[in-house]
Amino acid sequence: MTKAVVLGAAGGIGQPLALLLKCNPLIKELSLFDIVNTPGVAADLSHISTPAKVEGFLPPDDGLKKALTGADIVVIPAGVPRKPGWCGVRWHIDCLPIVKCRDDLFKINAGIVRDLATGIATVAPKAFVLVISNPVNSTVPIVAEVFKKHGVFDPKRLFGVTTLDVVRASTFVAEILGDLSLAPSISVPVVGGHSGVTIVPLLSQSSHSLPKDFSESSLDTLTKRVQFGGDEVVKAKDGAGSATLSMAYAGAEFATKVIKAVNGEAGIVAPSFVNLAADKDGGDALKKEIGKNLDYFSTLVELGPEGVAKIRTLGKLTSFEEGLVQAALPELETSINKGVSFIETPK
Ligand code: NAI
């Protein structure tokens, strides 16, 4: 595995993500595609003294095709981020120029992801595809449906990047334990999906236990902080976008895990939003466990040379966590269906 491609590489996530990938010694070639600014970003990164050769492409002259040719792994942060008012109860007038509402954001990002997926299906159908563009619960099914239409869908190679939820959960637990130096070694499985109540942190399975006197209401508060952590950033940025730097870190972390597993490193396990057909036995067991026949779910995935090697079930849950999983299912199902039908009946 040598060539990585970032689609949406000039954006708030794309640029720091490209920087982190450029610093990854496992990557020998890094192609950056966006509708703006990639030549500049590529020129800038190309001066960094690491092995990866960097090139930037724009849409003219078959830029997407050139960027994707020979791709081993494609990361997609292209799209429009949410703004204050997009996710909340009220809509603020000062956000009007970009995105009016949740549905507008869906349509814009769905169209962008569909078109980029078409490019991947045509030029690099064997590449591992990591989808960051929101809403991940819908954009991953969109990529899958496009690949199916082109007869190249391999569920083992498609991932929704939910790593930011995992990164946040680890950080917040470290904060509660009063020692941020623990954060890199804390692992908390986060399952379900990648928006609001579909994000289910399994804090009872944290590698580092919460304090013995941690109350139920504190657990509820911590769970909500993981589920709606993105809102903290959107609010603090006050109109200037959503999480970009932490997302770039999370995206690079997950990409590195996939690359290492594909290169033969054993024992790599990470949560990701995947098509449950990627491992039929594991997927069926998971569906039975959650009591719902969903095609996609985020869960711990064992990674291997072909991508998804094994889908893990959720394991022992507390009754609080069982409630969270059940609460996630209706929204998850709606979002998945919305993605699938966007391709079946393109708008
Ligand atoms: P941004 O607006 O800063 O960057 C998006 C980039 O995509 C821009 O450079 C834009 O030119 C580019 N773009 C637009 N249409 C394109 C096309 N057809 N082909 C190639 N590039 C195209 O947005 P930001 O903050 O980087 O967010 C990007 C996406 O990531 C959004 O959908 C956002 O909601 C999502 N996101 C996902 C997270 C996750 O945990 N999975 C966390 C945070 C954001």
Could you give the CA distance from residue 187 to residue 253 in angstroms, rounded to a whole number?
Answer: 13
Same structural domain, 270 and 237: yes
With a 6 Å cutoff on the Cβ, whether 203 touches ligand 1 is no
Same structural domain, 7 and 80: yes
Q: How far is the CA of 142 from the centre of ligand 1 (A)?
A: 16
Task: List C-alpha distances in Å: 255 to 3, 22, 76, 206, 325.
Answer: 12, 12, 11, 22, 27
Could you give the CA distance from residue 256 to residue 203 in angstroms, rounded to a whole number?
Answer: 25
**Residue 79 β-bridge partners:** none
- CATH number for the domain harbouring residue 293: 3.90.110.10
Q: How far is the CA of 314 from the centre of ligand 1 (A)?
A: 30
Q: What is the pLDDT of residue 217?
A: 96
Q: What is the pLDDT of residue 88?
A: 39
Torsion of CA 84, 87, 88, 91, to 10 degrees: 60
User: From the alpha carbon of 161, which atom of ligand 1 is closest?
Assistant: 41
Instruction: Name the residue at shortest CA distance from atom 43 of ligand 1.
Output: 243
Residue position matching structure tokens 């997926």: 117
In a domain, 45, yes or no: yes
Could you give the CA distance from residue 56 to residue 36 in angstroms, rounded to a whole number?
Answer: 10
Same structural domain, 149 and 168: no
Instruction: Name the residue at shortest CA distance from atom 1 of ligand 1.
Output: 11
Q: What is the pLDDT of residue 102?
A: 66
How many distinct structural domains can be found in the chain?
2
Q: Could you list the residue range(s) of the whole structural domain that residue 259 is in?
A: 163-343
Same structural domain, 206 and 239: yes
Same structural domain, 228 and 175: yes
Active site residues: 194
What interface predicted TM-score (ipTM) does this complex get? 0.99
Could you give the CA distance from residue 57 to residue 250 in angstroms, rounded to a whole number?
Answer: 24
Q: What is the mean pLDDT of each run of 10 residues along the chain (347 residues)?
A: 93 98 97 98 98 97 97 97 56 41 84 98 98 96 98 98 98 97 97 96 97 95 96 91 96 98 97 98 98 97 98 97 98 97 77
Residue 107: what residue type?
K
- CATH number for the domain harbouring residue 11: 3.40.50.720
User: From the alpha carbon of 36, which atom of ligand 1 is closest?
Assistant: 11
Q: Which of 161, 180, 197 is the last residue of a domain?
A: 161
Query: Is 288 within 8 Å of 171 (Cβ atoms)?
Result: no
Q: 23 exposed, middle or buried (CB, 10 Å; 0-12, 13-18, 19+)?
A: middle
In a domain, 93, yes or no: no
Same structural domain, 191 and 146: no
- Indicate the top mutation candidate among 62, 80, 82 to test ligand 1's pocket, ranked by most ligand atoms within 8 A of CB: 80
Q: What is the pLDDT of residue 97?
A: 40
User: Can you say which residues are annotated as belonging to the binding site for substrate?
Assistant: 82, 102, 134, 168
Same structural domain, 48 and 61: yes
pTM over 0.90: yes
User: From the alpha carbon of 164, which atom of ligand 1 is closest?
Assistant: 40
Q: Which of 144, 161, 178 is the last residue of a domain?
A: 161
Q: How far is the CA of 284 from the centre of ligand 1 (A)?
A: 33
